[in-house]
Amino acid sequence: MRIILLGPPGAGKGTQAKIISERFGIPQISTGDILRKAIQEQTDLGRRAKAFMDNGQLVPDDLVTGIVHDRLAEPDCSRGYILDGFPRTLAQAEALTESLKGQRGGIDFVIDIRADLSRLVKRLTGRRLCKNCQQMYHEEFNPTKMKGVCDKCGGELYQREDDTEETIVRRFDVYESQARALESFYASSGKYRPVNGDLPVDQVTREVFAILNH
């Protein structure tokens, strides 16, 4: 099963992607995670992406489409995958369609996690991640049992540098400038499914599974 997750920053793409990944045994491909790792490892990609990410702007399409194209060619993607945070522009969506042409079948579902932006600021400023396994938590909505320590692996939690109010506002602007074009691109494919991302995590998961198991 090949799945795309769309939605604004904080909608719950990463959270739902991890749950789907475990349930269906397919990898989560998060361009944000790949880029953050590249920055941490100070690779050429990381050096080129950092300023854009720090400012809440999109990393140029050619850099990102290249990463995804290579990642999808890896053997663990043969049974499917979940794209989390990609595509984010019409150009990326078109590039993805192009790179899937050589392979059997295309995307099965495009799940758009819709959410009220005004309620997402709190989700993003309270977001905490595990340094070790990247599991997401939230200070208030999904706290760890022990403060600052990952429930899953005992790793240390951190806050993303771009989860500040100033950068969040810029990321919302970027999202809004692209969202409609992406929606209409996929709406015409018949694979587009909106879900209500304002609901609690388990209710969003229920909506998503109802679509995937259909």
Site residues (vs ligand ADP, CB under 6 A):
7, 9-15, 31-32, 35, 52-53, 56-59, 64, 85-86, 88, 92, 123, 126-127, 136-138, 141-142, 162, 171, 199-201, 204
Q: Residue 119 catalytic? A: no
Question: Of these partners, Zn ion, ligand ADP, none, which one is at the site of residue 46 (CB under 5 to 8 Å by kind)?
Answer: none
Alpha carbons within 13 A on the beta-carbon side of 207: 17
Q: Rank residues 73 and 153 by Cβ distance to Zn ion and give the closer one.
A: 153
Which residue is catalytic, options 2, 127, 128, 193?
Answer: 127
Q: Residue 160 catalytic? A: yes
> Among 54, 57, 35, which Cα is nearest to 164's?
54
Q: Rank residues 14 and 27 by Cβ distance to ligand ADP and give the closer one.
A: 14
Q: Rank residues 149 and 201 by Cβ distance to ligand ADP and give the closer one.
A: 201
Q: Which of 155, 183, 198, 212 binds Zn ion (CB under 5 A)?
A: 155
What does the longest C-alpha to C-alpha distance in the chain come to? Answer: 48
Q: Rank residues 140 and 190 by Cβ distance to ligand ADP and give the closer one.
A: 140
Peptide bond into 87 cis (omega under 30): yes
- What letters, b where the CB count within 10 A reaches 16 and e where it falls short, cover 25-64? ebbbbbbbbbbbebbeeeeebbeebbeebeebebbebebb
- What letters, b where the CB count within 10 A reaches 16 and e where it falls short, cover 182-206? bbebbeeeebbbbbebeeebeebbe
Q: Residue 193 catalytic? A: no
| Token pair recorded at residue 2 | 């090949």
Which residue is catalytic, options 36, 88, 123, 128?
Answer: 88
Q: Taking the complex as a whole, how short is the minimal distance between the CB of residue 209 and ligand ADP, in angstroms?
A: 14
Q: Active-site residue numbers?
A: 13, 88, 127, 160, 171
